[in-house]
Structure 1
Amino acid sequence: MIAVLTADLIDSSLYKEDVLQQVLDTLTSEFGIITKQNGEKSVRFNIYRGDSFQGIVKSPEVALLIAIQIKAAVNRIHLKKTKKSRAYSKIADFKLAIGIGTQELEREALSESNGQAFQFSGRSLDEMKNENRKTRIKTPVEEIDAEFNTAFFLLDTITDKWSTASAEVVYFLLRGLKEREIAAEINISQSAVNQRKKAAGWEAISGLLNRYQQVITTKLKNG
């Protein structure tokens, strides 16, 4: 079993050139960070069409964490030049589908790879295009899909309310930093980090990540 993440930037044709360039640079950088975190043999990502990306995650139990990390990295983007981290409205976001299943063919080019996970991910993203949804999952088990697609609807509601400052704090929490370390990283007080952490709905997100990892490991990866 592998996970395939497929995503499209939302309304990318409306992005100003500097915004789109910043988003693409951020994605490229983040894919490098994720690859370093997980190992070159465990993850692969590719940007295509200039406004979409796809990735293979060999350990499907960490696919949601990786997806939210990429989302937080993009959602925290702003082009304001300030000395301290401040809250701004998000200027970029994307729809993302996670497909978990088998892989029949792996080629050097992701676009030439194929299998159940690729089909699940691609079809799920297509289904989302006319929906007010930003995150969806498809697996071989309908009960898992039902549970997490309901949870992802709530996740979308939480993340839609993120400011760039909220996304930034979540991003560093997902990278494993403590509140004190985040405060030093973005030049704000630890109490401010804690406030942004609460505003971002971190406890709910953390609980969802734990549940996802548990279910995917026990019912799919080891089942």
Structure 2
Amino acid sequence: MINEGSLCAVITGDLVSSSELGYQRRGSVISYLHSSFGSIAEQLQLNDAVLLPFDIYRGDSFQVVLTCPERALLASVLLSIKLSLFGEETNDLAARISIGIGTIGHIPDSGNVGEADGMAFRLSGRSLDMMKERDQGLLVTTPDAVLNLMFESQCAFFDLISGRWTDIQKEFIFEKLSGLTQEGIALKKGRSQSTVSQSLSSAGFDTVKKFLSNYEELFKHPGIFVEGDE
């Protein structure tokens, strides 16, 4: 259980164009969503930081609460990449992901994420609704308006960059962000190290890595996230 006032991250998302999924494909996607987050949580050693478990609701939306908000952006980026690589016939699968940073006011004894409440939940949910109107893929929202301006522009740049990635670039970036070296990726994927290096460079990996590391660095100053929290 967390202390009152502790910062958390609520990750809320929904599948884009989910109404076009057939019944059989929808079941496969939901299963893939669960297994993908599970493997990412294990890779990032997040299992002890999951306050409320990964939950799918309304058939095409998902939510999870993390007590280590500094890892929420990386987890979300990895999940987004993982979804976009779901099978040869479904490589158009995409999700909008909204990260709300703030405090948690109520954790139900049932553990049902849908019954929880707090600033982080409200920020995440409201932003996801706005993202649908603005065709955004990723957004981080905090109680601080100035921080939100920065995150809005940074996430827009990420959407632009990631929207240009090829499948092989996505695979390489996923492995690199998961901790493999270029040599390790080359061995795993059966490619040369120079091919991996060139692919990561053309995909703008260093820029993406800077985006992620700068986000994590902000949590060394947690006070900036709680101004105006309610």
Alignment match of 1:70 (pick from 59, 63, 79): 79
Aligned to 1:111: 114
1:34 Cα deviation from its structure 2 partner = 3.0
- For residue 167 of structure 2, what is the aligned residue in structure 1? 164
Residues 1:124 and 2:124 aligned together: no
User: Secondary structure of the equivalent of 2:221?
Assistant: helix
Deviations along 1:25-83, one digit per CA (max 9) or x if unpaired, are: 33211221233233433023112222111111111111111110101111222327xxx
Confirm or deny: 8 A CA contact 1:78 1:164 kept in the other structure: no
C-alpha distance after superposition, 1:76-111 (max 9, x if no partner): 22327xxxxxxxx94111111110111011231111
Asked whether the equivalents of residues 3 and 99 of structure 1 are also in contact (C-alpha less than 8 Å), the reply is yes
58-67 or 189-198: bigger deviation:
189-198
- Taking only the aligned residue pairs, the percentage that are identical comes to 31
Task: Supply the AA of the counterpart residue of 1:70.
Answer: L
Paired AA for residue 13 in structure 2: A
Which residue matches 1:101? 102
Which residue in 2 is equivalent to 1:14? 20
Q: Which residue of 2 aligns with 1:134?
A: 137
Q: Distance in 2 between matches of 1:91 and 1:210?
A: 28
Secondary structure of the structure 2 residue equivalent to 1:100: strand
The TM-score normalised by the length of structure 2 is 0.85
Is 2:30 aligned against 1:29? no
Q: Superposition RMSD on alpha carbons, in Å?
A: 2.1
Question: What's the secondary structure of 1:130's corresponding residue?
Answer: helix
| Contact 2:143–2:225, Cα closer than 8 Å, also in 1 | no
Aligned equivalent of 1:86: none
Structure 1 residues 191 and 69, CA gap change in structure 2 (3 angstroms): same
Q: Deviating runs (4+, > 6 A) in structure 1?
A: none
Q: What is the CA-CA distance between 1:200 and the residue it aligns to?
A: 2.2
Gaps of 5+ in 2: 1-6
Which amino acid is the alignment partner of residue 74 of structure 1?
Answer: L
Q: Residue 92 of structure 1 corresponds to which residue in structure 2?
A: 93
Which deviates the most, 154-163 or 24-33?
Answer: 24-33
The counterpart of 1:60, out of the listed 69, 81, 93, is 69
Instruction: Report what 2:3 is aligned to.
Output: none
Q: 1:103 to 1:130 in 2, by over 3 A?
A: same
* 2:135 match: secondary structure: coil
